[in-house]
Amino acid sequence: MSIFDHSIKDMHELLHKKEISVSDLVDQSIKRINEVDGKVQAFLTIDEENARKKAKELDGKLGENLLFGIPAGMKDNIVTKNLRTTCASKMLENFDPIYDATVIEKLNEVNTVTIGKLNMDEFAMGSTTETSAFKITKNPWDLNRVPGGSSGGSAAAVASGQVPFALGTDTGGSIRQPAAFCGVVGMKPTYGRVSRYGLVAFASSLDQAGPITRTVEDNAIVLQAIAGLDANDSTTVNKEVPNYAADLTGDVKGLKIAVPKEYLGEGVSEASRESVLAALKVLEGLGATWEEVSLPHSQYGVATYYLLASSEASANLARFDGVRYGYRTENPKNLMELYKKSRSEGFGDEVKRRIMLGTFALSSGFYDAYYKKAQQVRTLIKQDFDNVFSKYDVIIGPTTPTPAYKIGEVVDDPVTMYVRDLLTIPVNLAGLPGISVPCGFTEGLPLGLQIIGKHFDEQTIYRVAHAFEQATNFHQQKPQL
């Protein structure tokens, strides 16, 4: 059997019928990694010994949860007890955490099997997985192209059939954008829906963990397992976690869709625009209606995001100073040199760039002009969404302006790279949930459809995404590695 050919529910049924064992699933995952990861370069650490050990313990048992015994990959900024967590940075090259993140604990409770840790942009800063200190992950659809970022390793591992699902994190589009580039499903939940405890912080008011899967139903199953209130994270919200998969009825009759004109305007490729219009036709055929709307302040999203995210990053990354853990320079002459050299040698260029930008925005004399102003604009962006959601159920547009670009094409031009996130960033600034699902191809490369919902209304997003998925066959396409 191939992991490629089965949904999580299928695998669960095969386990219950005893047609396969958990060890068989883990064997298949590791076999596939050995076959293709030399080309894709998605994994940083493979925990084969412990994965096989846990699989043996689970063999013969019957777990009621659909995720029982399912192999998974974790983005390498999610801490895993006794399993190296590097954030793809020299700064944490030898860091072995002493505890599990809450999302890992929740997956352990339902007995998933962690296969290993996945490559990413260093400290989640980037859109291509090229800023990793260790390797460049390749897009399974075209090995000369990027898989997106910062969760590029997670998306590439799922797209290439190495694991049935992976966790990523999304600060400005870092789950949805790589999901779009790799032709898989990526969900950024509402801020506060999933605990951030044990995620290595980039921008605390924006970061969210979420699942990357091959189908919408698989995604809904994983989100249900990791969502919920956590005493260790005061930003989690005490709201009941629905059975997301139970609501996937395919019924979208009467659904009202808003399509922001800004999301189909300048900078969005013809192929991305056409794929969205074709997707809207499919949803119309299923009984939904759509109208064009405006999100006037979204044009300021990129500038607002990079000021706020960089400011939070400069504060969060101050803890990496060479004193307690992480990289430490050799033979510093004094304390100041220890700080300077440890940070300049341990961090990569993109991380340094954002720390400097953030420190500047927070500095005396510039705080009001930059950081405070950005927070005010963030409020306006959120109000734009609130106005649209007072009349419509979901907002739809492309996930990215273009398909995946070539390795090396934008990484040396940070402004161009930042602007490519213009469609995903506003969702994080407003704390909303958003999903990317495959909606077409151009020149053999996948395109993503972004569906944005109201706060804590992941159910409606999943319902729309599933209805579209069932009416099309884009999710069934596989890269030929």
Q: Which amino acid is at 77?
A: N
Return d(Cα 468, Cα 465) in angstroms, integer: 5
In the chain, DSSP finds a helix count (H) and a strand count (E) of 15, 11
User: What per-residue confidence (pLDDT) applies to 364?
Assistant: 87
pTM, entire model: 0.96
Q: Rounded distance, CA 165 to CA 167, Å?
A: 7
What is the Cα–Cα distance from 300 to 305, expressed in whole angstroms?
Answer: 9
Single-letter amino acid code for the residue at 192: G
Mean pLDDT confidence for 219-227? 98
pLDDT value at position 323?
Answer: 92
Question: pLDDT per residue over 290-336, tens digit each?
Answer: 999 999 999 999 999 999 999 999 999 999 999 988 999 999 999 99
Residue range 154-172: mean pLDDT, rounded: 97
Share of the chain above pLDDT 90, in %: 93
Lookup: tokens for 277: 């219009």
C-alpha to C-alpha distance for 411 and 417, rounded to whole angstroms: 7
Model pLDDT for residues 386-445, shown as the tens digit of each residue? 999 999 999 999 999 999 999 998 777 776 676 678 899 999 999 999 999 999 999 999
Concerning whether 314 is annotated as a catalytic residue, the answer is no
pLDDT in tens, 338-351: 999 999 999 999 99
Extract the tokens encoding 435. 């999903």
CA dist 202 and 189 (Å) reads 17
- Nearest alpha carbon to residue 54 among 108, 10, 97: 108
Which tokens in the block code for residue 374? 């950005």
Written as one string, the DSSP assignment of 299-312 is GGHHHHHHHHHHHH
Options 23, 54, 75, 436, the catalytic residue: 75
- Is there a contact between 158 and 387 (Cβ–Cβ < 8 Å)? no
User: In the beta sheet, which residues pair with residue 199?
Assistant: 78
Is the pLDDT at 154 greater than 90? The verdict is yes
Told to judge if 151 belongs to the known catalytic residues of this protein, a careful annotator would answer no
Q: How many CB atoms lie within 10 A of CB 329?
A: 16
pLDDT for residue 418: 67
Residues 29, 89, 154, 174: which is the catalytic one?
174
Looking at residues 440-458, what average pLDDT do you find? 97
Alpha-helical runs (H) found in 259-298: 270-285
Cα angle, residue 432 at apex, residues 429 and 437 outer, rounded to 5°: 110
Write down the mean pLDDT value for the chain: 95
**150 catalytic, yes or no?**
yes
Q: What is the pLDDT of residues 73-123, one digit of tens each?
A: 999 999 999 999 999 999 999 999 999 999 999 999 999 999 999 999 999
pLDDT at 1 over 60: no
| 236-291 pLDDT, tens digit each | 999 999 999 998 999 999 999 999 999 998 889 999 999 999 999 999 999 999 99
Q: Residue 228: which of 197, 186, 194, 205 has the closest Cα?
A: 194
Distance CA 439, CA 445 (A): 11
For residues 341 and 348, give the distance between their C-alpha atoms in angstroms, rounded to a whole number: 13
Instruction: Judge whether residue 453 has pLDDT over 70.
Output: yes
